[in-house]
Amino acid sequence: MSKISKFFKGGGSAASKGRGGPSPQEALARLRETEEMLSKKQEYLETRIERELTAARQHGTKNKRAALQALKRKKRYEKQLSQIDGTLSTIEFQREALENSHTNTEVLKNMGYAAQAMKKVHENM
């Protein structure tokens, strides 16, 4: 198989080759890592916004061009911040849905196990 076809068909990792996808625990861990990374990016952008705002105030009416440039950068950072907010809310929703489905799966497994035990008890009667 050529390198290009391997690339487009996807080599896949060892974890995804086993059952067709990552385990719920792996997915939850990766979602949490992504949440942490985006939170750090949020903090960074908030400090940059504050810096640009103070720079715009410093330049004030003395250097309008520099003040406008600082305000434009501030607006760009605010746009990035709002995008990150949206992404974070989507990730949180996904993580909660994954946790709920994992819990439901475990409950169903345990209920099936209990049903088998009940059948065994009834057979012995």
The CATH number assigned to the domain holding 62 equals: 1.10.287.1060
pLDDT of residue 16: 45
At residue 27, does pLDDT exceed 80?
yes
Indicate whether 104 belongs to any domain.
Answer: yes
Provide CB contacts within 8 A for 98, sequence distance 6+. Answer: 24, 27, 28, 31
Indicate whether 53 belongs to any domain.
Answer: yes
Q: What pLDDT digit, counting tens, does each position of 39-70 carry?
A: 999 999 999 999 999 999 998 888 999 999 99
Going by pLDDT thresholds of 50, 70 and 90, the confidence category of residue 19 is low
**2 near 52, Cβ under 8 Å?**
no
Going by pLDDT thresholds of 50, 70 and 90, the confidence category of residue 124 is confident
Provide CB contacts within 8 A for 55, sequence distance 6+. Answer: 66, 67, 70
**How many angstroms separate the Cα of 1 from the Cα of each of 12, 13, 16?**
15, 17, 20
Indicate whether 49 belongs to any domain.
Answer: yes
**Spatial distance between the Cα atoms of 48 and 14, rounded to a whole number of angstroms:** 40
At residue 25, does pLDDT exceed 90?
no
Record the pTM: 0.67
% residues pLDDT > 70 (the chain):
85
Indicate whether 31 belongs to any domain.
Answer: yes
Indicate whether 7 belongs to any domain.
Answer: no
Indicate whether 1 belongs to any domain.
Answer: no
72: containing domain: 24-120
Indicate whether 110 belongs to any domain.
Answer: yes
Q: What pLDDT digit, counting tens, does each position of 73-83 carry?
A: 999 999 999 99
Indicate whether 4 belongs to any domain.
Answer: no
Instruction: Tell me how many domains the chain contains.
Output: 1
